[in-house]
Structure 1
């Protein structure tokens, strides 16, 4: 087999250019912070993002996504004695009270109910210890290397949950892929009519003050300070922001989002529907299965190159992988996509005959 490499520049397909977000000189008030692109995982802004800190009730993002993935939202859950030990922010569940798992999740995420969180954890994990093991296992799977969970609530008087802004962005990015999660955290008001009437307003004020906010979770303890993990979408960009120990968290995150939306655009670098490469050997029969988009500044758009590597094969089947295309921003590889060949079966006399009947 003979291998050769062809370097070429792909045409960048530009999205709509935002003109409503001014560029901000950030005055970041958080001890740790980050803005991450949800699709690609690219960090658009960070400050001390790998510094371990207490995370308070943003812990409940993990509790929520685990419950969604491992439970039936329509299940009826009975409140057990675990609720008697809860303090701080609660939705005031009573011993023996029954509520669906779905309603408990809304109470936990909108009102930050510690009692709801511990009831959920006991129901899903059968006991608190097992559920905490599930939390740490999921954190490991997501890549949260600097995170340790010791309870499902974020209370830190006796047990401490530590993470980083970067790790919490990874968790938010992961949870955002789940439609049920997005629906819960994006809800501003929720009503439960069961054994008791509950009306919960979302404590995440960013949903009211920032037009592009789509959800998130607040947190506070005297030791952790104010913590906030949110998501926002504008002009094709879905972003998540994290601020830890930030007394001005809402305004700070608005400015962080405005900075990101003002400076970055989602650019289509590889388009699977318009992947055209002149090659005599494969005769324009190669293709890719996925498009690739990436957030770039205007200056960076001039620094993107693609490198196509193809391998000549004598025996080919339809769908064989015959190479790869690598995408570089300056000298850093940001993506790799396999390249396939299409081999159309030659039509026989019988194929033509079948078409007649």
Structure 2
């Protein structure tokens, strides 16, 4: 009986291990994001860490202003003086109370656009850069597609007020934000909590409406954000945050309740920071494949799960693959060929890279697979122990008959 009790304890323990592993593997599925569409992307590499309907066309509301801002920064002159039109003056929604004929620097308009979500500032920017809103939308869409690489974005205006043809996706918005983050002027404005505003008829202190940026909801590492709302889009939110070397972008679209948009954002940021990390290989690091040497043309940065045990594998033509313990390529890079008349320094030989067979074996003996194999072994031992006890009892009964 002691043997049976011991075997049952082992079975319970192994079952707990398997359940724990399954729970870890399904954490992504258990985030329970309420927004209709969402994404978390690592900003340095563009790696998508989680997505929910991220390619589905949605209405972005004021997240449009992220695109308008970076376009204006890169295609306008920040010191230009913009004359506000009557069209800008009478636009609906949130404004910075610009007056017709008022003269404002382009940079100040971009600040009013991003910080206070001024729709009038968006119209003034569009008319200054392209002559009218329709032409600006055309110019902006070309820029987004050809420069940033969006795939399903079509903007009809610079501010995000509802238009049935004004659509984008969570993935495209993450790409736009990732691109914009490389610009210091953009990030300085995107992270601003408040600034003094002196207008023709309005002197005040404007504040960001993003609760994480202005620390109304505390969260460590937030570096910027933009919120939006129109009835057709629901609540929309774009947020950037950084801890150590990990830079995250989250986008949530169409939340029916504003608190859900922020809760979803925090869940996505927690998921990214708790489960992923970023590693790098310096520029000029050399590798060897057979008798050919290759080098990294620039610093290589890649994002991977924190529990990944990565190995570098160089293949023909200088393709470098970062392989995890499951034999999967986490990322792939093209190395530069080193001419043989040039001396190589600190080369990493491909002979030191694990073979395909060793990767398979490592996968076999990883925790999940080993647990399953051990569990089957326990069941087998338990079966033979019970069978042995039954035979012993049968023989004993025959003896005393």
Per the TM superposition, whether the score is higher than 0.5 is yes
2:51 matches 1:54: no
Q: Structure 1 residue aligned with 2:269, among 257, 262, 270? A: 257
**Normalization by structure 2: what TM-score?**
0.71
Per-residue Cα deviation, 1:106-132 (whole angstroms, up to 9, x for no partner): 111011111110111110111111110
Q: 2:151 corresponds to which residue?
A: 145
Counterpart in 2 of 1:227? 236
Post-superposition shift, 1:337? 2.2
Q: How do 1:95-244 and structure 2 match up within 5 A?
A: 95-141=100-146, 142-156=148-162, 158=163, 160-193=165-198, 195=200, 196-207=202-213, 208=215, 209-244=218-253
CA RMSD of the aligned region, Å? 2.3
Q: Runs of 5+ in structure 1 lacking a partner?
A: 1-22, 311-322, 346-357
2:78 alignment partner, SS class: coil
Deviation per CA, 1:280-331, whole angstroms, max 9, x where unpaired?
Answer: x56xx753222322111134334x4422435xxxxxxxxxxxx443445534
Contact 2:289 2:316 (C-alpha < 8 Å) held by counterparts: no
TM-score by length of 1: 0.79
Q: Could you report, residue by residue, the CA deviation over 1:312-357 in whole angstroms, capped at 9, with x for unpaired residues?
A: xxxxxxxxxxx44344553447222222326459xxxxxxxxxxxx
Deviation at 1:82, TM superposition (A): 1.5
Of the two structures, which has the highest relative contact order with CA contacts closer than 8 Å and spacing of 6 or more? 1
Measure, in 1, the Cα distance between the counterparts of 2:90 and 2:197.
24
Structure-2 residue corresponding to 1:319: none
| Equivalent pair of 1:325/1:339 in contact (CA under 8 Å) | no
CA deviation after TM superposition for structure 1 residue 45, in Å: 0.9
Offset of 1:169 from its aligned partner?
A: 0.8
Alignment correspondent of 1:325: 320
Q: 1:275 aligns with which of 262, 286, 291?
A: 286
| Distance in 2, Cα, partners of 1:211 & 1:341 | 44
Change (3 A) 1:276 1:218: same
Q: Secondary structure at 1:72's aligned position in 2?
A: coil
Aligned residues: 305
> Would you say the 8 A contact 2:289–2:314 is kept in 1?
no
Give ranges in structure 2 of 5+ residues lacking alignment. 1-26, 344-401
Based on CA coordinates, which of the two structures has the bigger radius of gyration?
2
The alpha-carbon distance between structure 1 residues 344 and 294, as it changes in their structure 2 partners (threshold 3 A), is closer
Structure (1 or 2) with the greater strand fraction: 1
Provide Cα deviations, 1:178-201, integer angstroms capped at 9, x if missing partner: 111111110111113354524211
Q: 1:257, 1:273 → 2: CA distance?
A: 33
Structure with bigger helix share is 2
2:278 corresponds to 1:266: yes
